[in-house]
Amino acid sequence: MNLIIDAGNTFVKLAVFENGAIVHDIRVELADLVKKAKVIYHEYPQIEWTMVSSVVSLEKTDLKALTVFSKVHVLGHGTKTPFENKYATPETLGVDRIALAAGAFYFKPHCNVLVIDAGTCITYDLITENGEYLGGAISPGLQMRYNALHQQTSKLPLLNPKDPKGLIGNTTESSIHSGVVNGICTELDGVIDQYRMEFKDLTVILTGGDNQFLSKRLKNTIFAFSNFLLKGLNNLLDYNKR
């Protein structure tokens, strides 16, 4: 068994994998990471390895506490990958994007795969049919766009994502919803179309916290997965154990 820990910008996700499948998962606050991990280790004493991926700085004492219960691999730029990393500055590549690329590599081997992570930011990452990671793009996420409109103006309110009733907003709030949601979906469809013009038989995966909200609004055919990054991390851990 493996324990996968993904510390994102907002929450920490913990998932127990057995034979490549998730048998338990939970989302917690960063401050509760070690406490919740200890509970999982006691519930699943078969866990032998833990993979930690973090886009924030974790305390060394927290990492050390995990080693009491299992072997720990911290995902970094020294981690071996099953694909060839062609990123021009690999030392700056986010560990979350490395995990997503690994997930794409294993999801459909020997195919062109674009994985889009709609979280705090939206990331686009491409694995080619030759097993090469080329990079992609980073843009503001859904809530970040709402936040920006409020924080960088004097009068626009802070709203939570909501399905716009139509293209034309007839109030300030409906105009914001139309601009943000329709704008982000137009971006996603447009980017996918550009990739499909360049890479034949492209498989597109949408994941991240906002994937369910956005997937049904896209014109393109995609695969929507909530735990794709966790599965990519588990793939990387198994690859590095070998």
Q: Is residue 239 in a domain? A: no
Q: Measure Cα distances from 147 to 67, 150, 156, 180, 211 in Å.
A: 38, 5, 10, 11, 19
According to DSSP, residue 180 is labeled I
Residue 204 marked in a binding site: no
Same structural domain, 229 and 182: yes
Select from 74, 98, 120 the last residue of a domain: 74
Q: pTM for this structure?
A: 0.92
Residue 6 marked in a binding site: yes
**Residue 96 known to be catalytic:** yes
Per-residue pLDDT of the chain (242 residues; tens, 9 = 90+): 999 999 876 689 999 999 999 999 999 988 889 999 999 999 999 999 999 998 777 778 888 999 999 999 999 989 999 999 999 999 999 999 999 999 999 999 999 999 999 999 999 999 999 999 999 999 999 999 999 999 999 999 999 999 998 899 999 999 999 999 999 999 999 999 999 999 999 999 999 989 999 999 999 988 999 899 999 999 999 999 87
According to DSSP, residue 91 is labeled G
Same structural domain, 90 and 185: yes
Burial class (CB in 10 A: 0-12, 13-18, 19+), 14: buried
Select from 45, 74, 103 the last residue of a domain: 74
- Domain with 201 in it: 84-233
Residue 120 marked in a binding site: yes
Residue 186 marked in a binding site: no
**Of 32, 62, 96, 163, which is the active-site residue?**
96
Q: Is residue 191 in a domain? A: yes
Same structural domain, 67 and 89: no
Select from 74, 94, 126 the last residue of a domain: 74
Q: Measure Cα distances from 233 to 17, 104, 165, 221 in Å.
A: 10, 11, 38, 25
